[in-house]
């Protein structure tokens, strides 16, 4: 069992969980994720590792209550335990000194981009960060991101904090004024596609972290398959990071949409609504 040692409400629907998972914390690297199961009847869901503390033996993740399992997690408190925490999974980010890098986090994507930005800074990069959300209430970790960035920009759709508009507006502005050597963009699939399309004319390598449906997280089931550069890849073992200019986002978005109705039914019925192999 894996104890919740800290729960923090970042916004009414976004919660931070620090979970005791020493073996995962020992091996975790930026860019990786883990699979979590609340209890025996629960589905397994992939969650990004937003932070890890090897000494304390804890990992941190941030969850938005948009699905059945994330709502159940949102109702859990410090001291309660999750049944399964399996990981770390996926390939770690390639951290090295690229020169000047930009780290773009949209919504829940701010959490996984944070350890990447921090590690890139520690490797000697100049880090320009861009965070965005629909509104100020859905933004978090401005101070944490600021502390590891030489420049921090923020955007909200409604203008309630920072630039009124999209992160892509800022990405374009920065690229027009500065040479950037590599970009990481993590967030909702449409946002990652938009960032990749914005950076394409500038020819700057753009890494995205894909979040397709996952079932086992170990390359066995094929649920997370994506097309990258014309080749089939499994996001859980070949990714989750891929070259954003090569990802077939149309296909990835179509596959994500296939499961939306299942999730709505699960939320309405208050149960998973599917068998144990089903996922969000």
Binding site for ligand FES (CB under 6 A): 214-217, 219-224, 234, 236
Q: Where are the beta strands (DSSP E) in 149-249?
A: 151-156, 163-164, 182-186, 205-209, 225-228, 231-234, 241-243
Task: Decide: 217 and 44 in contact? Cβ < 8 Å.
Answer: yes
Nearest distance from C-beta of residue 223 to ligand FES, angstroms: 5
Distances (CA, A) of 208 to 37, 93, 139, 197: 25, 11, 20, 12
- Toward ligand FES, which CB reaches closer, 139 or 226? 226
- Toward ligand FES, which CB reaches closer, 111 or 236? 236
Nearest distance from C-beta of residue 172 to ligand FES, angstroms: 33
Burial class (CB in 10 A: 0-12, 13-18, 19+), 158: exposed
Nearest distance from C-beta of residue 214 to ligand FES, angstroms: 4
- Toward ligand FES, which CB reaches closer, 18 or 238? 238
- Toward ligand FES, which CB reaches closer, 75 or 218? 218
Nearest distance from C-beta of residue 259 to ligand FES, angstroms: 13
- Toward ligand FES, which CB reaches closer, 117 or 214? 214
Task: Decide: 87 and 34 in contact? Cβ < 8 Å.
Answer: yes
Nearest distance from C-beta of residue 271 to ligand FES, angstroms: 22
- Toward ligand FES, which CB reaches closer, 153 or 280? 280
What whole-number distance in Å separates Cα of residue 130 and Cα of residue 20?
Answer: 30
Nearest distance from C-beta of residue 279 to ligand FES, angstroms: 8
Element (H, E) at 73: helix 68-74
Look up tokens 């993740």; give the residue: 61
């Amino acid at each position: 069992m894996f104890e919740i040692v800290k729960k923090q409400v970042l916004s009414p629907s976004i919660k931070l969980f620090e979970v005791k998972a020493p073996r995962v914390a020992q091996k975790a690297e930026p860019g990786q994720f883990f699979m979590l199961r609340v209890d025996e009847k629960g589905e397994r869901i992939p969650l990004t590792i937003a932070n890890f503390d090897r000494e304390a033996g804890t990992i941190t993740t941030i969850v938005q209550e948009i699905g059945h399992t994330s709502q159940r997690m949102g109702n859990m408190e410090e001291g309660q335990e999750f049944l399964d925490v399996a990981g770390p999974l996926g390939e770690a980010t390639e951290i090295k000194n690229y020169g000047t890098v930009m780290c773009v986090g949209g919504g829940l994507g701010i959490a996984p981009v944070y350890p990447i930005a921090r590690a890139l800074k520690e490797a000697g990069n100049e880090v320009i960060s861009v965070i965005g959300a629909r509104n100020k209430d859905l933004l978090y970790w401005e101070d944490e991101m600021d502390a590891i960035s030489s420049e921090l920009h923020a955007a909200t759709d409604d203008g309630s904090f920072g630039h009124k508009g999209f992160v892509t507006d800022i990405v374009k502005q920065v690229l027009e004024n500065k040479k950037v050597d590599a970009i990481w963009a993590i967030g909702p699939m449409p946002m990652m596609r938009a960032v990749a399309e914005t950076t394409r004319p500038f020819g700057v390598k753009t890494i995205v972290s894909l979040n397709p449906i996952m079932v086992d997280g170990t390359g066995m089931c094929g649920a997370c398959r994506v097309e990258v550069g014309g080749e089939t890849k499994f996001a859980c073992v070949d990714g989750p990071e891929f070259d954003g200019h090569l990802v077939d986002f149309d296909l990835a978005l179509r596959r994500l949409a296939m499961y939306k109705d299942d999730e709505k039914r699960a939320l309405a019925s208050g149960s998973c609504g599917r068998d144990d192999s089903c996922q969000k």
